[in-house]
Amino acid sequence: MNNLSSAIRSLYRDVIIKEDEPLSGHTSMKVGGKADYYIRPRSEPSLIGVIGVLRELRIPYYLLGGGTNVVVRDGGFRGAVVAIGKGFDSVDIDEGRGIVTAGAGAALSAVAKKAAKAGLSGLEPLSGIPGTVGGALYMNAGSYGSDMSRVVTQAKVYDTEADRLKTMSMYEMRLGYRSSLFQSVGSYVIISVAFRLKKRDTATIGSAMRLYSRQRRSLQPMDMPSAGSFFKRPAGAYAGELIESAGLKGLGVGGAQVSEKHAGFIVNTGGATASDVIGLMAKVQEAVRAGSGYGLVPEPRIIGEDI
């Protein structure tokens, strides 16, 4: 391990690298084992350089944003987790053109607030989604009838195979329901995202954002660790309703529980392990399939290995 750490430190002074880093502290579910390496580049050149080193040494890596839509198994991640946060969190606003450009590590909620102050509308329904801009684009995150495909115009990405930066149009990204090209083609690293928004009265935008925030707080278990809405919406139904109809609200495995506030969420009531979360996920899937015939697909990515 020391070889990689020493190599990266000698090449890039703006990179934080830790060995055997617990990932439970870097994910919203608060579960998971250690990564062999946890690397946080703070500039575009160092990010590209770190990825180059990892590829040259054939060390598997996983790109982590806010950690809000991922469950790490208890055995941790064998390889490097590359965190994209500080250094990739700039937000630039062109009010005249209605364009907001944000780094992949910027919090989506922060981008929405800055756009609102500039009188630019479009991000209000997404303003309460936790996590980063890059993660939101990767998942085509959405809520309240909108998603990233409605507001994104293009993205700057690094193509690791071609070793070059490129600008990708919204159409090239193939954004669908909780899906994107980035999920099927692993060679792209999202660097920044451009949003095309519309001019609107700041008071009206602020009022809408407050309304969405109140609705989210009243309906979702925001006071407990979770990975957000745990299951994708199946065609013709809603995951939360199917789970509640199966009588699963409050069902628990270890420290993991189907939220009593919203059945679409699995929460960590304290001391949950990833095995608890994944075990509960399987119980929910089995019960819903038996009761309604629907197959529920988890929305968070499940990475790493078991103990």
* 53 closest CA partner among 15, 19, 107: 15
Q: Which CATH number fits domain 91-207: 2.70.70.10, 3.90.700.10, 3.20.20.60, 3.30.465.10?
A: 3.30.465.10
What per-residue confidence (pLDDT) applies to 7?
87
Report, as residue numbers or ranges, the catalytic residues.
178, 229, 299
pLDDT digits (tens, 9 = 90+) for 165-204: 999 999 999 999 999 999 999 899 999 999 999 999 999 9
Q: What's the pTM? A: 0.93
Query: Hunting for tokens 């998603």 — which residue is that?
Result: 147
Q: Where are the domains of the chain?
A: 2-83, 91-207, 222-303
Q: What is the pLDDT of residues 61-80, one digit of tens each?
A: 999 999 999 999 999 999 99
Q: What is the pLDDT of residues 20-63, one digit of tens each?
A: 999 999 999 999 999 999 999 999 999 999 999 999 999 999 99
Computed over every residue of the chain, the mean pLDDT equals 96
**2-83 maps to which CATH number?**
3.30.43.10
Amino acid at 283: K
**Options 3.90.78.10, 3.20.20.70, 3.10.20.30, 3.40.30.10; CATH of 222-303:** 3.90.78.10
Q: How far apart are CA 224 and CA 233, in angstroms?
A: 22
